[in-house]
A and B are shown apart, each in its own frame.
Chain A
Amino acid sequence: MPSGEAQIGNAGQSEREASTEAAMEEPTAAQVKERGLYRSFGLTDDEYERIVSLLGRQPGYVETGIFSVMWSEHCSYKSSRKVLRRFPTAGPQVLQGPGENAGIVDIGDGLAVAFKIESHNHPTAIEPYQGAATGVGGIIRDVFTMGARPVALLNSLRFGALDQARNRYLFAQSVAGIGGYGNCIGIPTVGGEVVFDERYDHNPLVNAMCVGLIEHGQIATGTASGVGNPVLVVGAKTGRDGIHGATFASAEDPHAKERSAVQVGDPFMEKLLLEACLELIATGKVVGIQDMGAAGLTSSSAEMASRAGSGLTLDVSRVPCREAAMTPYEIMLSESQERMLVVMTKGEEHVAQEVFQKWGLEASVIGTVTDDGLLRIREGDRVAAEIPVTALVDEAPVLDRPATRPPYLDELLAEPKLTEPEDYGQDLLRLLARPTIASKEWVYRQYDSMVRTETFVRPGSDAAVIGVPGTRKALALTTDGNGRHVYLDPYAGGARAVAEAARNLVCSGARPLAVTDCLNYGNPEKPEVFYQFEQSAAGMSAACETLRTPVISGNVSFYNESHGVDIYPTPVVGMVGLIEDLALITTSEWKGAGHDVYVLGALSDSAGSRSRLGGSEYLAMRDPANALRYAPPPLDLDAEAALQRLCAEAIRRRLIVSAHDVSDGGMLTAFAECAAAGDLGADLNLAGDGQALMSLCFGEGTSQIVVEVEPANAAALEDLAAQLTVSAVRCGMTNSDGALRVSAAGRAIVNIDVAALRESWQGAIASWMQ
């Protein structure tokens, strides 16, 4: 089947070049098999045979390309699907669970919140600015595709240690790319986290989350139904960028990947696309709409048809292209950004064209919905591909990956033996200057966190808080994850990520609603990596059940490794909570002198003596060579739930004026953060000495919250805690003399000016980046 157009403009290329990038003459179905071309697309021999039997013939070149991206790990979730099915996804608040572009939960008043998190790790490893920027662009599209107005962005980031120039480059450029996209499009970046560890050397993690607001009646979905309805491609033109991005995201070594597979973002275009799509959806003439993300036109069309049980006939010669002589293969696999696929009601095409024209964008009819269940790709009169949609989506391979418990887990020791510091204060200052613990101001001051004028708690507190316009309600938003803890105890680590996210929301005055998860792991073909994946997902599920926060959307990123070393298993939890009234918004910084400081949650584990230092940042600082040899403390989900109930109820009764959860860095770090952010000191007392005291000060046992209480409310807080059977220990009082003083059993262990704490904490990352 010769294709006249495809040859124009490629005449000068050698045949060899052409055969690698699908220009020139398209190889025949027989050649695809004989030359094993499918292997270079990432399909295995078994998968190729499966395609032959599904089709009842050999797939052509374009068809092979389509199968290869649809069956890639990235699009098919073939390794993870069975595990993901076990997540709890139901709840009275859930309006849209997993399977759509984003999940949606109800917040009352006829309003709902749409949100999702997604990874862009592999592109970022190669081209950090564009990789991170297009990660943001993609997740924004997922949210406005649902008909929601995007109102906030968050990012969960991991990089290698900052003493390596390459890591500083990846970090600086990723942050610039995230800012460049979010700032331009005018959606505030309000929160997130950044962690540095050598396990992320050369394989950074960039997980972007977007949150949108929507009225119940405006929810749009990615379905292509109604025979004869027109299918339109809208937004940017299609170019040759990002071809096979989805496949590369499913391959091991980012350095073997091609820069050309990384897309280039245009936030201005996306701003126009966003406004045009929301305007279009509001007309009520849209049948279905879907973002063209990974695998571009291929996956968007197949998924839309699959959801509706329909078929689609598309003519690629009608797709507006940025470059001349693009082949059907290139058009189907392009990952050019800022495009959407829209199905309109028949006869209403002009509505889309009018709206898009106003915004200076194109809306081109490229095909129609059919009822034959086929994805049929034409190029003019020629049929370039014809595949049953079920073969692409439902028949995609689902793998039973073997899982083996890694031996290191059974070799972990119970309690690190560290010499007790002479001066806990000096260790605290060093700990605060660790980039993972330090203030992330250097990062978030590059993000516009205030546009839309609804940001009531800006970056830096436990969770960001944004207002819901037209109501007294607000949303609390957070992302959390701790790869080292998951590595050391996959099940508890997974549960902990959920628990910490929920705790952060509760500390902000919110009721946690639901979870979006971004599951970042190494090579799933390694049974030990798959074990980490399975176990941590099980732990997350358990915590989601206990805390009643179903998973409503998410994403899996495998093959995060380089030079043969897998990253820590790093599930990241994005969570959204509802604050019923603006007056309940609570932040972490200390508010006034002479207030009582309490720690809610047990100061020692039920076992009594178990150290919390395993897995801690303090241990990584004191004894880096042995940081991965000790078991982290256990997590008691029921105790966690009780603690969160207490904090939520105390906020509801207005008993506390600030709340901050104890997490990375431990309790002294939590005290220091409350002090530095509030510019207030405190005089505090702890119990114990030796290993127990170090564990109390620097351990990361979690299930603890530092709260500040006006003395008149102290008794009421203690009563409430007793009633809910949660420990509440008064540790001392905030002061007005600008020093944080901590003593233990009569011995002064910390005595530092708040200004000095702040200098260590605030200046650390900037000093690396100068």
Chain B
Amino acid sequence: MRCAVVQFPGSNCDMDAVKAINHAIGESADIVWHTVASLEAYDLIILPGGFAYGDYLRAGAIARFSAVMEAVAHEAERGKWVMGICNGFQVLTEGGLLPGALRRNESLQFRSEIATLEVVNAETAFTRHYRAGETIRIPIAHGEGNYYADEQTLLRMRERGQIVFRYAREHNPNGSVDDIAGVINERGNVLGMMPHPERAVHERLGSADGARLFTAIFESWREAYAKR
């Protein structure tokens, strides 16, 4: 599986994503600079966490105009897997590849801890190694993770299984509507989540629950590859 981790100026979880891919599935990943115009060579594209362009305007609002984002949109359209983690999720909503928006945390404070999540949809290419309803522990670290979508959009998302992860009941760290922590597009190939699965790939990090996201996408790729 050929993996790309996009590096914007200000990305800071890029190397963590590379390490996690390596650790969880033994694959290497290329760091791809934000000026690159084509991502055709890659099967999985990760938009990592960080503070692209400093996030001084609104998280992800500038990064989505990077040259590389056209390539990301193009590959998403072609059915490639795209995964936005934290800042990457913000870039994907800003760029219109995922529904909704991420506002400042209700507390107006940055929040960093290991969050407890519920796997809502375990049938996506990314989550097939979890069980529906399973409780997993994945770190969060963000100041703007308060997910919002209007009622109509939410209804539609619920119907189509687009809500993939929720924060555990009573443990919503940021005020997200419907406790939403991660969502997927209708087609099921673009995932965005505020929690950091790449920070939970072995027990010394406090949890290994994130590793299954990478093993799941790897298996999905192998199946797709075998078909081709």
Residues of A at the B interface (CB closer than 8 Å) are: 176, 179-180, 183-186, 266-269, 271-272, 359-360, 444-453, 455-456, 458, 467, 582
Contact = CB atoms under 8 A, between A and B. Distances in A.
Nearest to B143: A183
B114 to A, nearest CB: 8
Contacts of B113: 445
Interface string B140-159: 01010000000000000000
B19 interface: yes
Interface in B121-140: 139
Contacts of A448: 110, 112, 141
A185 B54 CA distance: 9
Leading 10 A-B pairs by shortest Cβ distance? A186-B12, A268-B54, A448-B141, A184-B51, A453-B16, A448-B112, A456-B204, A446-B110, A450-B139, A179-B110
Nearest to A272: B9
A445 B109 CA distance: 9
13 contacts: A183-B110, A183-B141, A184-B12, A186-B12, A268-B9, A271-B10, A359-B9, A444-B112, A446-B111, A451-B13, A453-B19, A453-B198, A453-B201
Contacts of B13: 186, 451
B212 interface: no
A133 to B, nearest CB: 13
Contact of A450 (B9, B51, B196): B196
Nearest to A271: B10
A452 B15 contact: yes
A184 B16 contact: no
Interface residues of B, number: 30
B199 interface: yes
Contacts of B56: 268
B20 interface: yes
A450 B111 CA distance: 12
Contacts of A271: 9-10, 12, 51
B206 interface: yes
Nearest to A585: B204
A450 B204 contact: no
B140 to A, nearest CB: 9
B205 interface: yes
B55 interface: yes
Nearest to A456: B204
Interface string B10-25: 1011011001100000
A467 B10 contact: no
Contacts of A359: 9
Given A186-B12, A268-B9, A446 B50 contact: no
B225 to A, nearest CB: 28
A184 B10 contact: yes
Interface string B166-199: 0000000000000000000000000000001011
A57 B87 CA distance: 59
A326 to B, nearest CB: 24
Contacts of B198: 453
B201 to A, nearest CB: 8
B9 A453 contact: no
Contacts of A184: 10, 12, 51, 54-55
A446 B9 contact: no
Given A268-B56, A450-B139, A445 B112 contact: yes
B16 A451 contact: yes
Contact of B199 (A180, A444, A453, A582): A453
Given A185-B12, A451-B13, A453-B20, A268 B51 contact: yes
A266 B112 contact: no
A236 to B, nearest CB: 12
Contacts of B42: none
B53 interface: yes
Given A184-B51, A268-B51, 18 more contacts: A179-B110, A180-B110, A183-B143, A184-B54, A184-B55, A269-B54, A272-B9, A360-B9, A444-B112, A447-B112, A448-B110, A448-B141, A450-B141, A452-B15, A453-B16, A453-B199, A455-B205, A458-B206
A268 B199 contact: no
Contacts of B51: 183-184, 186, 267-268, 271
A176 B143 CA distance: 11
A359 B139 CA distance: 29
B25 to A, nearest CB: 16
Contact of B53 (A176, A268, A447, A458): A268
Which of A444, A450, A455 counts the most chain B CB atoms within 10 A?
A: A450
Nearest to A183: B110
A453 B203 CA distance: 11
Contacts of A447: 110, 112
A452 B139 CA distance: 13
A582 B204 contact: yes
Contacts of B110: 176, 179-180, 183, 446-448
A216 B49 CA distance: 30
Contacts of A455: 205
A267 B53 CA distance: 10
Given A184-B51, A268-B9, A456 B112 contact: no
Contacts of A269: 54
Interface in B1-36: 9-10, 12-13, 15-16, 19-20
Interface in B37-52: 49-51
Contacts of B12: 184-186, 271, 451
A445 B111 contact: yes
A592 B55 CA distance: 44
B109 A446 contact: yes
Contacts of B9: 268, 271-272, 359-360
B109 A176 contact: yes
